[in-house]
C-alpha cells in the first residue's frame, strides 16, 4: 500500500534515493518542498521530471484537497474541509491570535469516543489519520493562509490518544529542525482521558502540552456525558494526571465545558476544586457551543462567571477560553465529519 508523501522522514527519503539510484542531495530538496506544504510533485520545480515520476509511482501525492473554505464574519477564523486520498473528510481550523496563526487539527476522520455534547461523535468513524496527514493540515493550512503556523492544538475531530503512534510520529515530524521545526512547547495535545496513553505519554517526557477534557466534577455527571468514564473513572484518571505532572514537571490543562443545568453550578465548582487542590494544573473553562440536534445548552454568562469566581476563590487558576468561529461551526465541539454536516 502506498504511503502518503508527508509520512516520509528525511532518512526514509535518503534511503529511497539510494534504492532508486537518485543523487542523495535530492532527498533534502524533496523534504524541503514537503515541509513547506507542497503535496504535489509539480510544485517541486528543482527536482527532475524523472525523479518526480518515480515519487508519484511509489507514494501518494496531490490527494490532500480543499473541498470547502469557510471564513468567520465575526473574527476571521478559517475552517478548511479536506478530502483525503481515500475519500474520507476532515476539518481543520485556523485562528488568528496576537502571537500569530494557530491551527486546530483533526487526529481522526470521525471519533469513537461518543461524548454526548460533541458534534464529531454524531458523524460516525472513518479511520485514524497518518502522521503525514496530521502534518499536512499544518503545512497546507499555512500555505493556503500565506503565513507560517505558530502553534498547534490537536483538538479537532477524533481522540488523539486513540491514534497514539501516529500522534507521536507527527510530533517528531513537525518538530524536526530539518523540516517544519516547530518548538514542542507550541503544540498541545488534548485527550478525553485514555489513562494508559497518558502514562505512556508521560514516560516520553515530552515538552508538548497536555490538555485533558474533564467536563465534570464527579463520575455521576461524567458518565452521563462521556462514555470513556466507564473505562476510566475520575479517580483513576486524576491519578494518571498526577503521575504525568510528577514525571514531566509540566502543568496539565483541564478543559471544562459548561452546560446549563448539567455541570455549571457553584457546587460543581467547589467539588472540582476539591479534586484538583494541590495539583499542578489550571482549568480552561469553555462556554459550551451548541450544534443542531444537541440536547445540551450553553451555560448562561452569569453562571460561567460564578463558576470561575468560585474556582479562583478556592485556589484553582481558571481561564475562560475565547471561542472563535462559532458562526461557521468551527468552535470547540462543533466540528463534524462530512460536508453535508459542515
Mean per-residue pLDDT pooled into runs of 10, the chain (342 residues): 95 98 98 96 96 98 91 94 94 95 96 81 84 98 97 95 98 97 98 98 98 97 94 98 98 95 96 97 86 76 96 97 75 56 42
Residues 7 and 126 in one domain: no
> Domain total for the chain?
2
Residues 20 and 142 in one domain: no
The CATH number assigned to the domain holding 36 equals: 1.10.150.530
Closest CA to 129 of 80, 179, 82: 82
Q: Are residues 16 and 45 in the same domain?
A: yes
In the residue annotation, 332 being an active-site residue is answered as yes
Domain with 257 in it: what CATH number?
Answer: 3.20.20.70
Q: Are strands 89-97 and 149-154 parallel, antiparallel or unpaired?
A: unpaired
Q: Are residues 197 and 234 in the same domain?
A: yes
Instruction: Give pLDDT, residue 331.
Output: 58
Same domain, 39 and 69: no
Last-in-domain residue among 60, 84, 101 = 60
The answer to whether residues 139 and 174 belong to one domain is yes
State residue 118's pLDDT score: 77
Boundary residue ending a domain (11, 44, 60): 60
| Cβ atoms of 306 and 285 closer than 8 Å | no
User: Which residue out of 63, 91, 159, 255 is catalytically annotated?
Assistant: 91
DSSP-derived letter for residue 321 is -
Q: State the pTM of this model.
A: 0.94
Q: Tell me, yes or no, whether 212 and 250 share the same domain.
A: yes
**Domain hosting residue 50, numbered range:** 3-60
Concerning whether 281 is annotated as a catalytic residue, the answer is no
Give the helix ranges, DSSP H, for 183-296.
195-204, 219-225, 228-231, 234-248, 266-276
Note whether 186 and 91 are same-domain residues. yes
The x, y and z cell numbers of residue 269, run together, are 465548582
Helix, strand, coil share of the chain (percent; to 5): 40, 20, 35
Same domain? For 42 and 174 the reply is: no
Which one of the listed residues 5, 111, 118, 332 is annotated catalytic? 332
Q: Are residues 31 and 90 in the same domain?
A: no
Listed in sequence order, the residues at least 6 apart from 278 whose beta carbon sits closer than 8 Å to its beta carbon are: none
Same domain for 168 and 223?
A: yes
306 and 185, same structural domain?
yes
> Residue written as cell 543523487?
23
Residues 6+ apart with CB under 8 A from 80: 66, 68, 69, 91, 92, 93, 94, 137, 140, 141, 144
| Phi/psi-derived region of residue 146, left when phi > 0, alpha when psi is between -120 and 50, beta in every other case | left
For residues 182 and 174, give the distance between their C-alpha atoms in angstroms, rounded to a whole number: 6
Among 60, 87, 109, the domain-final residue is 60
> Assign residue 171 a region: left if phi > 0, alpha if psi is -120 to 50, beta otherwise?
alpha
Amino acid at each position: 500500500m502506498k504511503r502518503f508523501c508527508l509520512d516520509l522522514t528525511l532518512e526514509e527519503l535518503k534511503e529511497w534515493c539510494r534504492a532508486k539510484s537518485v543523487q542523495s542531495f535530492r532527498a533534502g530538496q524533496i523534504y524541503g518542498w514537503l515541509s513547506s506544504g507542497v503535496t504535489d510533485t509539480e510544485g517541486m520545480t528543482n527536482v527532475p521530471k524523472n525523479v518526480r515520476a518515480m515519487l508519484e509511482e511509489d507514494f501518494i501525492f496531490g490527494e490532500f484537497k480543499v473541498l470547502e473554505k469557510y471564513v468567520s464574519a465575526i473574527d476571521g477564523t478559517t475552517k478548511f474541509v479536506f478530502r483525503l486520498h481515500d475519500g474520507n473528510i476532515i476539518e481543520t481550523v485556523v485562528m488568528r491570535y496576537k502571537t500569530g496563526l494557530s491551527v486546530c487539527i483533526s487526529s481522526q476522520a470521525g471519533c469513537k469516543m461518543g461524548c454526548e455534547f460533541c458534534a464529531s461523535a454524531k458523524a460516525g468513524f472513518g479511520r485514524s489519520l497518518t502522521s503525514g496527514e496530521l502534518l499536512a493540515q499544518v503545512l497546507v493550512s499555512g500555505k493556503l493562509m500565506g503565513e507560517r503556523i505558530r502553534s498547534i492544538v490537536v483538538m479537532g475531530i477524533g481522540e488523539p490518544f486513540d491514534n497514539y503512534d501516529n500522534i507521536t510520529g507527527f510530533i517528531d515530524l513537525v518538530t524536526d529542525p530539518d523540516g517544519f521545526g516547530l518548538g514542542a512547547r507550541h503544540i498541545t495535545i488534548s485527550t478525553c482521558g485514555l489513562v494508559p496513553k497518558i502514562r505512556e505519554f508521560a514516560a516520553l517526557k515530552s515538552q508538548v502540552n497536555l490538555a485533558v477534557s474533564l467536563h465534570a466534577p464527579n463520575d455521576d455527571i461524567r458518565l452521563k456525558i462521556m462514555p470513556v468514564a466507564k473505562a476510566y473513572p475520575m479517580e483513576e484518571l486524576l491519578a494518571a494526571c498526577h503521575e504525568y505532572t510528577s514525571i514531566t514537571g509540566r502543568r496539565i490543562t483541564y478543559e471544562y465545558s459548561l452546560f446549563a443545568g448539567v455541570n455549571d453550578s457553584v457546587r460543581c465548582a467547589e467539588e472540582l476544586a476539591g479534586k484538583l487542590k494541590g495539583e499542578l494544573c489550571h482549568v480552561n473553562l469553555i462556554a459550551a457551543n451548541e450544534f443542531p440536534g444537541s440536547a445540551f445548552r450553553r451555560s448562561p454568562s452569569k453562571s460561567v462567571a460564578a463558576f470561575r469566581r468560585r474556582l479562583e476563590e478556592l485556589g484553582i487558576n481558571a481561564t475562560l477560553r475565547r471561542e472563535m468561529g462559532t458562526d461557521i461551526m468551527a468552535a470547540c465541539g462543533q466540528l463534524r465529519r462530512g460536508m453535508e454536516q459542515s
